[in-house]
Amino acid sequence: MPLTSEPQDRWAWVEIDLNAIRKNTRAFKGMLKRGTQLMCAVKADAYGHGAVACTKAMHASGADQFAVATVAEGVELRQAGIEWPILMLNQAPMGAIQTLVDYDIMPSVYTSEFALAYGECAAANNKIGKYHLALDTGMTRIGVLPADVVEFRHAIDFHRGLECAGTFTHFATADNLQDWDFSLQAQRFTDAVAALHDAGCDVGLVHCDNTPGIILHPNMHFDMARAGIGLYGLQPSEATEGRISLAPAMSVRARVMRAINPAVGEGVSYGLHYRIPTPHIQVATIPLGYADGLSRTLSGRMDVLVHGKRARQVGNICMDQCMFAIDTNPVRSYRRAEPVVEGDLVTIIGKDGNECITADEMAKLRGTINYEVTCNFGMRLEKVYL
Ligand SMILES: *Cc1c(COP(=O)(O)O)cnc(C)c1O
């Protein structure tokens, strides 16, 4: 399976299937009523999938707006020529306000000091400073508390440089059905938006659902919904499985750089924690390590795929390399695997033949969630777009 597009300078890379991204985006857009906008979270370099390429693929498939976490992420999209609305899902430090205005990145706002400084800067640049008002309805992360929101708007609305383009909150438990805490947050949000309306405030686009919210709580779609993990083809929780069909977009691949048959008793990697137990064990090295997002906590506990079969990773995962073992013993034929040679394709995440290793499998082994697995593989590996 030689890939003409794989990087020439390193035998480890991430493959991104943009068709999967397009298909998933259409699936989410299709869950929304006509006229409801889809905002795509492309923060953290699109969860490790590459923000610029994903943003373009998503927009071509029905996405209306995009969400980033940092000023730099917004600037990267603008410098790549992306002109669609970008919301930063947080307030920025005061020192970044000029950059937000220069690049038309809408901040989320929850302090009047920030809002007024942003309005001042926008006005000084003959622009209108669009922002989204963040409400903290129970996650205790960012936002104005519902009890303070009308007063907050009265304190900033005099400023001619400001325009409220949206009002939103974020759910802590959208991935549970029939969750009491979710209902409480939903009620607080609905009440706060109603209070703003009653006070005569223009609230802009009302939005709150994330991926699990879109799937499990369609009554909360309002004017816009914010999808993230689902766009990349991963389920946010067990509760959403079976309710939407998604195609994982990321695969992680490498090629064998070296393979030898060490003598019984020889050790592998830092600490020599793995020792060759029997004759005919082959140990192969791939140029992929924890600096590429392969968590060291997986050492000796994960599989890779080679020739369509599982092989156990052995020894400590190094910063830039790791090793796996192949039992080529001709006697124990029930386990016998074909020896590998330099250049053989190895799959760390993704499919090879009938076998598959998912981000969910790796997340479970690591004691984390699939979100962190894909984010981590975005760190250093070159991305190849299919
Ligand atoms: C990351 C994020 C999202 C997207 O969440 P998913 O669970 O990936 O769908 C939506 N809204 C906010 C505020 C976020 O931080």
Of the pLDDT bands very low, low, confident and very high (cuts 50, 70, 90), residue 337 is confident
The candidate with the shortest Cα–Cα distance to 252, out of 342, 376, 339, is 376
Residue 4 scores a pLDDT above 80? no
Percent of the chain with pLDDT over 70: 97
Residue 187 scores a pLDDT above 70? yes
Residue 3 scores a pLDDT above 90? no
User: Which pTM was predicted?
Assistant: 0.96
Residue 327 scores a pLDDT above 80? yes
- Residue of 170, 371, 372 best suited for mutating to test ligand 1, as the one with most atoms within 8 Å of CB: 170
Token output for 56: 């373009």
- Give one DSSP letter per residue of 116-142, joined into a string: HHHHHHHHHTT--EEEEEEE-SSS-SS
Residue 333 scores a pLDDT above 80? no
pLDDT in tens, 230-239: 999 999 999 9
Give the Å distance between the CA of 163 and the centre of ligand 1. 23
- Across residues 68-73, what is the average pLDDT? 98
The per-residue pLDDT for 373 is 98
- Across residues 142-148, what is the average pLDDT? 98
Token output for 30: 């299709």
Tell me the CATH number for domain 19-230.
3.20.20.10
pLDDT in tens, 234-286: 999 999 999 999 999 999 999 999 999 999 999 999 999 999 999 999 999 99
Taking the C-alpha atoms of residue 321 and residue 285, their distance in angstroms, rounded to an integer, is 7
- For the chain, the domains span 19-230, 250-385
Of the pLDDT bands very low, low, confident and very high (cuts 50, 70, 90), residue 338 is confident
Give the Å distance between the CA of 142 and the centre of ligand 1. 13
- Across residues 156-162, what is the average pLDDT? 97
Q: Which atom of ligand 1 is nearest to the CA of 170?
A: 13
Query: Catalytic one among 29, 43, 56, 383?
Result: 43
> Is 385 in the active site?
no
> Is 23 in the active site?
no
Give the Å distance between the CA of 236 and the centre of ligand 1. 10
170 lines ligand 1 (CB under 6 A): yes
- The 10 Å Cβ neighbour count of residue 308 is 12
Give the Å distance between the CA of 226 and the centre of ligand 1. 6
- Give one DSSP letter per residue of 152-208, joined into a string: HHHHHTT-TTEEEEEEEE--SSTTSTT-HHHHHHHHHHHHHHHHHHHTT----EEE-
Q: Are 246 and 228 in contact (CB under 8 A)?
A: no
96 lines ligand 1 (CB under 6 A): no
The per-residue pLDDT for 335 is 59
User: What's 250-385's CATH class?
Assistant: mainly beta
The per-residue pLDDT for 336 is 66
350 lines ligand 1 (CB under 6 A): no
- The amino acid present at 105, given as its one-letter code, is I
Give the Å distance between the CA of 151 and the centre of ligand 1. 27
Of the pLDDT bands very low, low, confident and very high (cuts 50, 70, 90), residue 332 is low
- Across residues 34-63, what is the average pLDDT? 98
- Residue of 43, 226, 369, 372 best suited for mutating to test ligand 1, as the one with most atoms within 8 Å of CB: 226
Q: Which atom of ligand 1 is nearest to the CA of 236?
A: 7
